[in-house]
Structure 1
Amino acid sequence: MDATFYMEKAVFNYRVAAVMIVDHHVLIHKQAKDEHWALPGGRVELLEDSQTSVVREVKEELGIDVKVDRLLWFTENFFDYNNKNYHEIGLYYQVSPLNGEFNFHTEEFFGEEGDRLIYQWVPISSLEDIKLYPEFIRTSLRELPEAPQHLVVHKYSI
């Protein structure tokens, strides 16, 4: 069971995201029906630690075994999506493949879950031109923090 709680007009969500970088490109994804992009990841399950969650999510979505290198950002993210107010706790981990390298190519592709999610490796230098949420990702990936950062992302609409 996901650590997501739905109320009448609000949602509390506990999410992890994987930061995967190859040759100054980062992997992003979006739901096929959406216009905005995000970093791959998903919801933490109840009684599951966040590092296990991000490894599981990457395996489920992409079929790749990864290891967690380090925590980059801990976020408190407030936004509107589908007429609901979201309060999301997010942990953003830099990860690397356990065996070999990431399968890097510049075309969009689907992951292991069919055509629900679209993935693409994009140049970090072009992120400001992409509708990517939370917005701090657009500039923060240019220079990763030395130590984990705590960020509060104030309300925005998707």
Structure 2
Amino acid sequence: MDVVFQTEQAVFNYRVAGIWIENGHVLLHRDVNESNWSLPGGRVSIAEDSQSSLRREFREELGIDIQIDRMSLVIENFFEYRERDFHEIGFYYDVTAKKNFASFDEKPFYGIEGERLIFQWIPLEGLDQVDLHPVCLRASLQKSQPHIQHFVVK
């Protein structure tokens, strides 16, 4: 069971995501029915720690094992989606593949779950060309910081 619950006021969501940068590109994904991009990851399950959750999500979506290097960002994100208010807490980790990942190509591709999610390596210098959410990611991905950054996005 995911750590997500609905109240009359908003939906609360606890999410983890991986910041995977290769060759000056970052891996993003989006739902095939949406235009906005995000970092790969997903919801944390009850009684699951955030790093285990992120490893599970990468195995489920891409069939790969990742190395988690460090926590990079904590984002408190408040947004509206499908006419509902959301309050999301996100932990963002720098990650790499444990083994060579054969799909480094700038062309879009699907994960192993089928054609629900589209993945693509986007140049870091081209992030202003995509509808990336949360919006604070554009600037923070282009400048690596030695400490954890915290953002509140309303």
TM > 0.5 between the two? Answer: yes
Paired position in structure 2 for 1:117:
117
Paired position in structure 2 for 1:42:
42
Asked whether the 8 Å contact 1:128–1:139 carries over to 2, the reply is no
Paired position in structure 1 for 2:18:
18
Count of matched residue positions in the alignment of Structure 1 and Structure 2 = 154
RMSD, matched Cα = 1.1
How far apart, CA to CA, are the structure 2 residues paired with 1:88 and 1:41?
A: 13
Asked whether the 8 Å contact 2:72–2:148 carries over to 1, the reply is yes
How far apart, CA to CA, are the structure 1 residues paired with 2:59 and 2:96?
A: 12
The alignment partner of 1:100 has SS state of coil
How far apart, CA to CA, are the structure 1 residues paired with 2:83 and 2:10?
A: 9
Range that drifts further, 92-101 or 64-73: 92-101
Query: In the TM superposition, what are the counterparts of 1:38-117 in structure 2 within 5 Å?
Result: 38-101=38-101, 103-117=103-117
Range that drifts further, 135-144 or 42-51: 135-144
The alignment partner of 2:146 has SS state of coil
Residue 7 of structure 1 deviates from its aligned partner by: 2.6
- Structure 2 residues not aligned, in runs of 5+: none
Residue 107 of structure 1 deviates from its aligned partner by: 0.6
Divergent runs of 4+, >4 A? none
Paired position in structure 2 for 1:144:
144
TM-score by length of 2: 0.96
How far apart, CA to CA, are the structure 2 residues paired with 1:113 and 1:77?
A: 27
Residue 9 of structure 1 deviates from its aligned partner by: 5.0
Equivalent AA in structure 1 for residue 32 of structure 2? A
Equivalent AA in structure 2 for residue 82 of structure 1? R
Residue 139 of structure 1 deviates from its aligned partner by: 1.4
The alignment partner of 1:90 has SS state of strand
Asked whether the 8 Å contact 2:28–2:40 carries over to 1, the reply is yes
Paired position in structure 1 for 2:32:
32
- % identical aligned pairs: 47
Asked whether the 8 Å contact 1:44–1:53 carries over to 2, the reply is yes
How far apart, CA to CA, are the structure 1 residues paired with 2:104 and 2:88?
A: 30
State the Cα deviation string for residues 105-136 of structure 1 (Å, max 9, x = none): 01101001101100100100000111010001
Asked whether the 8 Å contact 1:22–1:102 carries over to 2, the reply is no
How far apart, CA to CA, are the structure 2 residues paired with 1:93 and 1:74?
A: 9
- Structure 1 residues not aligned, in runs of 5+: none
Equivalent AA in structure 1 for residue 19 of structure 2? V
